[in-house]
């Protein structure tokens, strides 16, 4: 995937109501799918990671990169 990622989330009462991702990746589809998958998700590490892991089957070639993004999210979600 490569490239930088900027993720913006609006959270209301513990639920991600809006998620928008900006990237300079040459293959943004998996990251855009992640942003969509996060909408409606509870703002909890376990739920966010589950949303990301659900994309592994849809984007098997990008699974290592998606795992990196998940790891980063797990470290930074509070």
Could you tell me which CATH number the domain at 5-76 has?
3.30.390.50
pLDDT of residue 4: 85
Domain ranges, ordered by start, for the chain: 5-76
**pLDDT tens digits for 10-51?**
999 999 999 999 999 888 999 999 999 999 999 999 999 999
Q: How far apart are CA 46 and CA 26, in angstroms?
A: 28
SS3 per residue for the chain: CCCCEEEEEEEECCEEEEEEEEECCCCCHHHHHHHHHHCCCECCHHHHHHHHHCCCCCCHHHHHHHHHHHHHHHHHCC
Sign, CA dihedral 28-30-31-37, equals positive
């Amino acid at each position: 995937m490569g490239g930088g990622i900027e993720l913006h989330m609006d959270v209301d009462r513990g639920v991600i109501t809006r998620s928008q991702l900006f990237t300079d990746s040459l293959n943004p589809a998996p990251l855009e799918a992640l942003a969509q998958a996060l909408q409606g998700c509870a703002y909890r590490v376990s739920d966010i990671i589950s949303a990301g892991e659900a994309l592994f089957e849809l984007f098997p070639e990008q699974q290592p990169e998606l795992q990196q993004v998940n790891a980063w999210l797990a470290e930074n979600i509070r």
